Structure 1
Amino acid sequence: MEHSHKAILVVSFGTSYEDARKATIERIENDIIAAFPEYRIYRAWTSRMILSILKKRDQIIIPNVCEAMEQMIDDGITEVIVQPTHILDGIENHIMKDEVLSYKSCFQSISFGAPLLSGQKDAETIVHAIGKRFEYLDKNTALVLMGHGTAHQANAVYEELGQLFKDMGYPHIFLGTVESSPSVQELIQEISNYGISSRNCDSADNDLPVEKVVLAPFMIVAGDHAHNDMAGEHPESWTSRFQNAGYEAESVLKGLGAYQKIRELFVEHVQNAINNINE
């Protein structure tokens, strides 16, 4: 069988945690491989620090975006679909696009798949995927999701999605960010106010005040932020902050890439990018 001249480049930030890589990034890649057998699949990671750690610590070499583009040129690829596993179309995604498009003259076509959160339909799918995964939590327990956050205007999506959880019937799910807003302190205040408003309601049908929080990453990979900033034992971790605020706290170290519905969204975004080429 002749080698395909069509390729899908899956671009991820990366992780230095092997278990997290296998549970998330590799599962996304494998689902894309299974869905598009006529395409050759390539990988690129964008974090220079993580690439350096893996090379030095584990002797694992993963290409960056430019190296992957050069490899595809060498392999005779002419049609490229680029699918990021980024959450938002923020700074990281824009830098990646610029790097890819610097090779535009070397290919017949380049098409980009959308990041995870790219519209209302994506947002609703994500809300239900997470809501159903944690539907076992009782009414005294809040699910607190830690997103990364960005200085880019795209950060507004976090607040919008946090409200969407409430609007779609998941009042005990709260979404914040580690590097922007809503911050962990804002979440602690919001959950505290939720408990007060619940106690002030006369109806027995109202949700009970929150006594416990379950922390989970709103990131593709449960990597360094999840292990340290969220679940770490140091005083500034989200776990410690919630405990100091009087809540029982536990962490679930499972990235979004481990959720089947999330992986299906990425496959759908690849298909949309292919459709854009064919239109």
Structure 2
Amino acid sequence: MKHKNAIVLAMFGTTVEPALKGLLNISGRMRARYPETPVRIAFTSNIIRKKWQQRAADPDYIKEHPEIPAEILEVRTVLATIADLQDQGHDTIILQPTHVAMGEEYLDLGTFVDGLMRMGTVKKAKYKPFHKVVLGRPALGTYGVAHPYHEDIMAAATALAADAELARQEKAALVYMGHGNEHFPSSGSYLELAERMRRLHPDVLTLIGNVEGYPALADVTAELRRFGAKKVLLKPCMVVAGDHAVNDMTGPEDDSWKNVLERNGFEVQAAASGLGEIDAFADIFVRNAGEAAADAGIVLR
């Protein structure tokens, strides 16, 4: 029996049009690596999907934004996207998240995979909806012995070399805004990433704070003072420079990171581009999808 493969990129999504560059870069590089394998985008955020549905139904918006591809305007949930592929005859799915760190969304995707693989039939096994459904790793890795997480973190640190170089040229500390999580201990991954970058680039102070959880902006500010930093290059440690970057990081509100840092006496230069726009970082997700397939005995072309 011949099995048909497909890749589904599970993305939180964004409603900020320029931020789509990070997501489309990942999907584009995935398609370039596996030109014979269908690659689909799915958004996990209900709010973001609903916003795109509204825009897709607005003729004026479509006319004003011809650059928005149909796959964004018609974006669906992860399960709906997989169901469409199954209806088209694809029974082998690589579900690759574009999350930076492991958190609740990644664990939710794991339950999807478990549920889909449990679907059976009272007749022959060949009638099962799916042959294999496998889950790839987030950028900073996950638990398990097959792929040590510290190697994933080192790969991410290496991929961000251009950011360190820009901070070096500006004679600034490099401060990333991560999303973080108040319910899962993902902060260790961010802290290790910052440490790896400091070792790779010892002349650049690299720190990562999170919107949610530890370390917070106050922790980053304390470290900047401890090291005597005067200038800061501020960047999102997120795949897209979406709402958090536009508002929480550089927005006009008093509590935006840029304004808080400036009130604390630091000169701030912001670079609002998502990690997905960096080819080397986007390629981490391409690699992780390929390794998830290989681990399951799936050949992607």
Partner of 1:116: 139
Q: Deviations over 1:185-222 (max 9, x none)?
A: 11011000101xxxxxxxxxxxxxx2211110000000
Instruction: Report the Cα offset of residue 136 of structure 1.
Output: 3.5
Q: Deviations over 1:139-187 (max 9, x none)?
A: 7411110000012123321122222222333441111111111100110
Change (3 A) 1:58 1:156: same
Which residue type is aligned with residue 141 of structure 1?
A
Change (3 A) 1:233 1:102: same
Structure 1 gaps, min length 5: 196-209
1:1-279 alignment to 2 at 5 Å?
A: 5-21=4-20, 23-59=21-57, 60-104=73-117, 105=119, 106-118=129-141, 119-138=149-168, 140-150=171-181, 151-170=183-202, 171-195=204-228, 210-278=229-297
Instruction: Report the Cα offset of residue 128 of structure 1.
Output: 2.5
3-state SS of 2:186 partner? helix
Mapped partners of 1:79, 1:263: distance in 2? 23
3-state SS of 2:79 partner? helix
Instruction: Report the Cα offset of residue 18 of structure 1.
Output: 1.7
Would the aligned equivalents of 2:113 and 2:135 in 1 still touch at CA under 8 Å?
no
Partner of 1:201: none
Would the aligned equivalents of 2:3 and 2:92 in 1 still touch at CA under 8 Å?
no
3-state SS of 2:296 partner? helix
Mapped partners of 1:176, 1:58: distance in 2? 35
- Normalising by structure 1, what TM-score? 0.88
Would the aligned equivalents of 1:222 and 1:255 in 2 still touch at CA under 8 Å?
yes
Instruction: Report the Cα offset of residue 8 of structure 1.
Output: 0.7
State which drifts further: 181-190 or 92-101: 92-101
Structure 2 gaps, min length 5: 58-72, 120-128, 142-148
Instruction: Report the Cα offset of residue 57 of structure 1.
Output: 3.2
Instruction: Report the Cα offset of residue 88 of structure 1.
Output: 1.5
Instruction: Report the Cα offset of residue 100 of structure 1.
Output: 3.5
Instruction: Report the Cα offset of residue 250 of structure 1.
Output: 2.1
Which residue type is aligned with residue 153 of structure 2?
A
Would the aligned equivalents of 2:43 and 2:78 in 1 still touch at CA under 8 Å?
yes
Instruction: Report the Cα offset of residue 19 of structure 1.
Output: 1.6
Which residue type is aligned with residue 236 of structure 2?
P
Would the aligned equivalents of 1:69 and 1:100 in 2 still touch at CA under 8 Å?
no
Partner of 1:203: none
Mapped partners of 1:234, 1:16: distance in 2? 20
Instruction: Report the Cα offset of residue 58 of structure 1.
Output: 4.1
Which residue type is aligned with residue 250 of structure 1?
Q
Change (3 A) 1:134 1:80: same
Which residue type is aligned with residue 154 of structure 1?
S
Which residue type is aligned with residue 36 of structure 2?
E
Number of residues of Structure 1 aligned to a counterpart in Structure 2: 262
State which drifts further: 177-186 or 159-168: 159-168
Q: Deviations over 1:101-151 (max 9, x none)?
A: 322222011111111111222212222322333313347411110000012
Partner of 1:204: none
State which drifts further: 154-163 or 218-227: 154-163
Mapped partners of 1:158, 1:211: distance in 2? 23
- Normalising by structure 2, what TM-score? 0.82
Mapped partners of 2:17, 2:159: distance in 1? 24
Mapped partners of 1:252, 1:179: distance in 2? 21
Mapped partners of 1:63, 1:183: distance in 2? 33
Mapped partners of 1:67, 1:211: distance in 2? 49
C-alpha root-mean-square deviation of aligned residues, in Å? 1.8
